[in-house]
Amino acid sequence: MSHANAALTPRARLRLARLIVDDRWTAVVAAKMFMVSPVTARKWAARYRAEGVAGMSDRSSRPRAMPTKTAPETVKRIVQLRWRRRLGPAQIAGELGLPASTVHAVLVRCRINRLSRIDRVTGEPICRYEHDYPGSMIHVDVTKFGNIPDGGGHKFLTRKQSKINARTQAQKTGQRGREYRPLIGTAFLNTVIDDHSRVAYAEICSDEKAATAIDVLRRAIAWFDERGVTVERVLSDNGSAYRSHAWADACAELSIRHKRTRPYRPQTNGKIERFHRTLADGWAYARFYESETERRAALPAWMHFYNHHRRHSAIGAPPISRLNNLPGHHS
């Protein structure tokens, strides 16, 4: 396709070439009419004589030969250093005696210029997966947020003021921890996210025990079922709640196949780990909350925003949009 500043479009080239070839205009006069050089006019006239109308279309500007292109053997060495040792362009250039710009061009061409695309353990390009339809697999996990004392916490106030607020609340509630320290407590956020659509479900609980996780799973499955999604598999980490017999029995009762991630490999459950970061930035620490009650009251509205209105970078649309075409969804 012609670039924005092109003097001639394919249609204008054809008109120019026909004036010279068919109507016997001189190249100088025709070039002056179309405000191009005589050399350009003669070029299009020659193509018209040789190829006809088809010769007026755009062609690739890539050269037929590139004598200075980096040799394949050198490209392999650059890629190997990038994969195995995770070196940057400057370090690779120093070891191989090449310009850093050349190394960077090779990394871009091989699509490994960003270290986030390379697995830290194996050194190979990350193989991302996504299940084919909603409900094929859901991810479950628990993330923790420290409760906010009345008056606000340290994220928006000074540490000193936050400690004063915590002590004041502890005097009211009588909750103290070790060494008589104020005990504000922890919010255990049980989260569930669908692998295909990224639609999420979350509940704030008082602990992370197996019984609590099972109750959340049952309510999450019912929540997805109301939206026409039948859950088939569930993926969790190796936490004690998910290794319990009660969890296994609950999955069998719900006809769900349970899978666990490899130990010390949070990347396997990466979708929900990334959701936790989004949750922290978008809800937990997004603004100043005067109390934990105020923050918890804001969670349902933010979850609705995430599922229905927030554009997800991985799928290019709000997560709920991937559920709109399910059978019976609008019945």
Residue pLDDT tens, the chain, 331 long: 566 567 788 899 999 999 999 999 999 999 999 999 999 999 999 999 999 999 998 888 888 888 888 899 999 999 888 887 888 899 999 999 999 999 999 999 888 887 766 666 666 666 667 888 888 999 999 999 888 777 776 767 777 777 776 777 666 665 665 555 656 778 899 999 998 999 999 999 988 899 999 999 999 999 999 888 999 999 999 889 999 999 999 999 999 999 988 887 777 788 898 899 999 988 988 888 888 889 899 999 999 999 999 888 888 889 998 886 554 444 4
Q: Which domain holds residue 25?
A: 10-56
* DSSP string computed for 231-292: --EEEE-S-TTTTSHHHHHHHHHTT-EEEEPPTT-GGGGHHHHHHHHHHIIIIITSS--SSH
Which residue, 281, 328, 303, is CA-closest to 220?
Answer: 303
Are 143 and 278 in the same domain?
yes
Are 317 and 282 in the same domain?
yes
Are 17 and 110 in the same domain?
no
Are 52 and 76 in the same domain?
no
Are 143 and 280 in the same domain?
yes
Domain assignment present for 162: no
C-alpha distance from residue 82 to each of 92, 94, 105 (Å): 8, 13, 13
- The answer to whether 147 touches 275, Cβ cutoff 8 Å, is no
Are 113 and 253 in the same domain?
no
Are 95 and 218 in the same domain?
no
Are 226 and 93 in the same domain?
no
Q: How far is CA 245 from the centre of its chain?
A: 35
Are 299 and 228 in the same domain?
yes
Domain assignment present for 219: yes
Domain assignment present for 175: no
Domain assignment present for 176: no
Domain assignment present for 238: yes
Q: What is the pTM of this model?
A: 0.61
Are 79 and 31 in the same domain?
no
Domain assignment present for 44: yes
Number of domains observed in the structure of the chain: 3
pLDDT at site 43: 93
Domain assignment present for 83: yes
Are 229 and 97 in the same domain?
no
Domain assignment present for 84: yes
pLDDT at site 76: 93
Query: What CATH number does the domain containing 254 carry?
Result: 3.30.420.10
Are 204 and 289 in the same domain?
yes
